Amino acid sequence: MLSRYLYLPLLLLSFFGLSAQQNAEIPAVYEQDAREIRRIYDQVLQNSSSYDWLHYLTKRIGARLSGTPEAAAAVEYTRQMMDTLGLDDVRLEPCMVPHWQRGTYEEVRIVHSNKVGSRDLKAVALGGSIGTGPLGITADVVEVHSLNEVDTLGAAGVAGKIVFYNRPMDPTRINTFNAYGGAVDQRALGAARAGKYGAVGVLVRSMTTELDDIPHTGSMTYLPDINPIPAMGISTNDAALLSRLLQEEEVRIFMRNNSSMATEKPSYNVIGEIRGSTHPDEIILVGGHLDSWDLGEGAHDDGAGCVQSLGVIEALKQLGYKPKRTIRCVMFMNEENGLRGGRTYWENSFKAGEYHLGAIESDRGGFTPRGFSAEGHPDIFAEGYKYISQWLPLLEPYGITFEIGGSGADIGGLKDQKGMLFGLVPDSQRYFDIHHTAADVLENVNKRELELGTAAMAALVYLLDQYGIKE
Amino acid sequence: MLSRYLYLPLLLLSFFGLSAQQNAEIPAVYEQDAREIRRIYDQVLQNSSSYDWLHYLTKRIGARLSGTPEAAAAVEYTRQMMDTLGLDDVRLEPCMVPHWQRGTYEEVRIVHSNKVGSRDLKAVALGGSIGTGPLGITADVVEVHSLNEVDTLGAAGVAGKIVFYNRPMDPTRINTFNAYGGAVDQRALGAARAGKYGAVGVLVRSMTTELDDIPHTGSMTYLPDINPIPAMGISTNDAALLSRLLQEEEVRIFMRNNSSMATEKPSYNVIGEIRGSTHPDEIILVGGHLDSWDLGEGAHDDGAGCVQSLGVIEALKQLGYKPKRTIRCVMFMNEENGLRGGRTYWENSFKAGEYHLGAIESDRGGFTPRGFSAEGHPDIFAEGYKYISQWLPLLEPYGITFEIGGSGADIGGLKDQKGMLFGLVPDSQRYFDIHHTAADVLENVNKRELELGTAAMAALVYLLDQYGIKE
């Protein structure tokens, strides 16, 4: 019978005292702020619509590549959601966007290998790639690990061939964005570099540290005066296979796709704001980008950032908060393959003589937030960073810190307004498993993790509104 | 054509300078250690077997409830894996364990509601619960939110009824373990408290902040001299439904299950070690628990902790590291419903006059690690905590910090040996979505996140081995 009376104290005991919440020592001057930030977190974690909005964006609308009807639907949906929040102003900002279309087929096949015979590889066209023509391209493959290696090989080494970029993302970098930054030049510029020497196509190892069967897309560009050639991404498992084969034999590849660039389409940034009571000309921006790649549902990239930004406004409204400064929420269009929305926004903002005191972009996935990266014009950055660092005791109880680093593609152009620019920094470990793939779907977003990002952004908006960025 | 020449600098620019790696300022005295820890991380992130071992434990063996053939298989499997690592000693430490069996049916049904008629609820027996008998129990339901409320209602309020514990985990606690600690008394002691006043059964709202359809099991206990009554967990969605109905009408519930306690079974802790070269009597332990609940695969709880602990030994071996102190890896048996393995280990350790200078348990899921909680005997803790805090500059580049808090159920009993006790603290946000459910499967473990925990533990083991816990 004794076995029935399990001894439980240890089970209960080990769960206390683990939280960073215990360590907070809040200076007296910030006590009211600590209460406000607690209210913000309570509000968001209990009542935020962020996840429901993301459900609509991903499951009702789906992928939102610039120029598509789905991107237009997302513009209209988020405009309507802003309307329901009772903002002082909601408007669309027109911009023309590129309209790349994936086409109806995309194939990469090993057609000639003594070792594995004929074999289909998991492949997708890179975003922006031209098509191969209906007959496809068949050519020998040459493997390289950098753009420089293509220069070294020159026309003698690559002309008439398919160049296979196979430098992996470095798994030992703790922050996976650094690993991505160290490899993505192959995807972005690989076709242009290989085309310069007469290559007929490129294959690019997918941007992930994992070995799996999921091919990644993402933007690539052609350069003036260089013949454009088709570019496709292949899964890391297939990249590893192809590399092994190439160590022993020549491999012939067939690649075929009919993606193409359509005419530009009219589209919009979606902008809503709560006007400031005492400093309406000082703008605090929160935003993400509404467009996504066409694979998956654009759930983390960047549906998450959009609904978090909307959630910031919602929480402040629900709490009846009356900002001193203008709080503006922006859904940017076309971050993925053109940045037209961002550029248009900056241009109009500078023309109008606006001042963004602070801008926050969320575009690194809806994972547990760990802090904000901060950047700014050299004239103001050192002082600003020191000033905001005073707020750390208010944010650390929620696991939030500051670090120096890039903010976000859509807001970087505001730097000359000399405000502080921030990027939400979530845990980065899972992002490149799904980034720009068919796996970027709602099921891979955790509701609590998403909401904690919303709350962290709202807390920073609150502090920027209360205290500005200097004495 | 311009649209083809996308402008990419911003795309590349925003990914640099985000990592905590940049901020590390390593005191000169630790430069060699910084290199060693970097080597440990490189090794683990490129060559660890942790994830492959977890694949075997979860997909080949599966759930490993104490006393089952699967638990025995896990003992043998991890013993063999230790053998392959070339340790100085691998042994099994016998202990008797309770053997609770879920039985062949478990049902909870609303049999009488004007509003929804008859309706099945998603339910599982709580671990340790007796059965209802084949005819089940049918009774009116009374909803409560605490053990105290049952005392207040007394026999007049609960006798002959099914008591429904419905206090949610508090979603506003940032660390979900604190939310769990604030609610789990209902599961652990709810049946004993309700039984005291003549209730005939209990239903317990599942331990998660999410609203979903997944019922959670977990340990509960009966107390001497109180009539044991059956206890089942229901999903949070069904708990919410039941609560809504109870606001408007009386609800009759039918509950039935045939779980039971079988005879105790012989089982084992699995222990392997590398003997220290200069201080072999000072033991540094890494461990997790091999048993799991019977739903799911015990992937996070605690397959992850087991394979991370094995991975620590593997990495040190691969690097050719020769420890000064004895590094011991322990797979504890029966943490979930009896702690027999832990107790046996402590008893034998004290009898043998051992000294655990440090012990680390990983039992909070295989998510991205954020640090270690530390505890210890009051005689040594303050000094020890201050001493180890000197190492923070070495760990912070990897996102690892220390905090004061409970270590782990299986190692807590070693406190009187006056070493430092640690618990690996991962990000806690997703854990209670899957904890003790059918969703605790390998697919919900991320390989990189798991490996980062292995590396963090190995780094701490290295520092404990190099420097001990005091000057």
**Among candidates A3, A184, A447 on the partner chain, residue whose Cβ is nearest the Cβ of B12:** A184
pLDDT of the residue at A27? 81
Tokens of A188: 């972005």
Low-confidence winner among A6-15, A60-69, B397-406 (lowest mean pLDDT) = A6-15
If pLDDT is split at 50, 70 and 90, which confidence band does A5 have?
Answer: very low
- Alpha-carbon distance of B275 to B469, in angstroms, equals 19
pLDDT of the residue at B29? 84
Determine the average pLDDT of the residues in A176-204: 98
Express each pLDDT in A12-67 by its tens digit.
Answer: 444 433 344 444 577 888 999 999 999 999 999 999 999 999 999 999 999 999 99
**Among candidates B5, B12, B173 on the partner chain, residue whose Cβ is nearest the Cβ of A222:** B5
- Alpha-carbon distance of A233 to B193, in angstroms, equals 61
Q: Is the peptide bond before A302 cis (omega within 30 degrees of 0)?
A: yes
Tell me the backbone φ, ψ of residue A244, rounded to 5 degrees.
-60, -45
Express each pLDDT in A98-144 by its tens digit.
Answer: 999 999 999 999 998 899 999 999 999 999 999 999 999 999 999 99
- B267 in Cβ contact with B311 (< 8 Å): no
Determine the average pLDDT of the residues in A371-400: 97
The CATH code of the domain at B27-100+263-467 is 3.40.630.10
**Among candidates B337, B407, B423 on the partner chain, residue whose Cβ is nearest the Cβ of A6:** B337
In angstroms, the separation between the Cα of residue B453 and the nearest Cα of chain A is 12
Q: How far is CA A251 from CA A118, A206, A230, in A?
A: 10, 19, 18
For residue A365, is pLDDT > 80?
yes
Q: Which residue of B has its CA nearest to A434?
A: B446
Could you tell me which residues are beta bridge partners of residue A135?
none
Mutation for testing the A interface, residue in B1, B11, B211 having most A CBs under 10 Å: B11
Q: To the nearest whole percent, how much of chain A has pLDDT over 70?
A: 95
Residue A174 and residue B19: Cβ atoms within 8 Å?
yes
Residue A171 and residue B433: Cβ atoms within 8 Å?
no
If pLDDT is split at 50, 70 and 90, which confidence band does A439 have?
Answer: very high
* B285: nearest Cα among B361, B343, B354, B340: B361
Determine the average pLDDT of the residues in B203-221: 97
Q: Which residue of A has its CA nearest to B367?
A: A429
In angstroms, the separation between the Cα of residue B165 and the nearest Cα of chain A is 18
- Alpha-carbon distance of B401 to B241, in angstroms, equals 42
Q: Mean of the per-residue pLDDT values for chain A?
A: 94
Task: Specify the pTM.
Answer: 0.94
For residue B20, is pLDDT > 60?
no
Residue A18 and residue B178: Cβ atoms within 8 Å?
yes
If pLDDT is split at 50, 70 and 90, which confidence band does B21 have?
Answer: very low
Please tell me the class of the A21-100+263-467 domain: alpha beta
Tell me the backbone φ, ψ of residue A328, rounded to 5 degrees.
-120, 135
**Among candidates B3, B18, B399 on the partner chain, residue whose Cβ is nearest the Cβ of A261:** B3
pLDDT of the residue at B90? 98
- A282 in Cβ contact with A276 (< 8 Å): yes
**Among candidates B3, B15, B368 on the partner chain, residue whose Cβ is nearest the Cβ of A180:** B15
pLDDT of the residue at B331? 98
Residue A14 and residue B407: Cβ atoms within 8 Å?
yes
Quote ipTM for the complex. 0.92
Please tell me the class of the A103-258 domain: alpha beta
Kindly list the domain boundaries of chain A, sorted by start residue.
21-100+263-467, 103-258
Tell me the backbone φ, ψ of residue B294, rounded to 5 degrees.
-85, -15
- In SS3 terms, chain A reads as CHHHCCCCHHHHHCCCCCCHHHHCCCCHHHHHHHHHHHHHHHHHHHHCCHHHHHHHHHHHHCCCCCCCHHHHHHHHHHHHHHHHCCCCEEEEEEEEEEEEECCCCEEEEEEECCCCCCEEECEEECECCCCCCCCCEEEEEEEECCHHHHHHHHHHHHCCCEEEECCCCCCCCCCHHHHHHCCCHHHHHHHHHHHHCCCCEEEEECCCCCCCCCCCCCECCCCCCCCCCCEEEECHHHHHHHHHHHCCCCCEEEEEECCEEEEEEEEEEEEEEECCCCEEEEEEEEEEECCCCCCCCCHHHHHHHHHHHHHHHHHHHHCCCCCCEEEEEEEECCCCCCCHHHHHHHHHHHHCCCEEEEEEECCCCCCCEEEEEEEECCCCHHHHHHHHHCCHHHHHHHCCEEEECCCCCCCHHHHHHCCEEEEEEECCCCHHHHCCCCCCCHHHCCHHHHHHHHHHHHHHHHHHHHHCCCC
Determine the average pLDDT of the residues in B376-397: 97
- Alpha-carbon distance of A468 to A358, in angstroms, equals 8
In angstroms, the separation between the Cα of residue A399 and the nearest Cα of chain B is 9
First to last CA, chain B: 69
Determine the average pLDDT of the residues in B292-309: 98
What are the chain B neighbours of A17 within 8 Å (beta carbons)? Answer: 373, 403-406
pLDDT of the residue at B248? 95
CB atoms within 10 A of CB B186: 26
If pLDDT is split at 50, 70 and 90, which confidence band does B137 have?
Answer: very high
Q: How far is CA A358 from CA A206, A461, A464, B142, in A?
A: 35, 8, 7, 53
If pLDDT is split at 50, 70 and 90, which confidence band does B24 have?
Answer: low
In angstroms, the separation between the Cα of residue A37 and the nearest Cα of chain B is 12
If pLDDT is split at 50, 70 and 90, which confidence band does B7 have?
Answer: very low
* B222: nearest Cα among B231, B235, B210, B209: B231
Integer Rg of chain A from CA:
24
First to last CA, chain A: 69
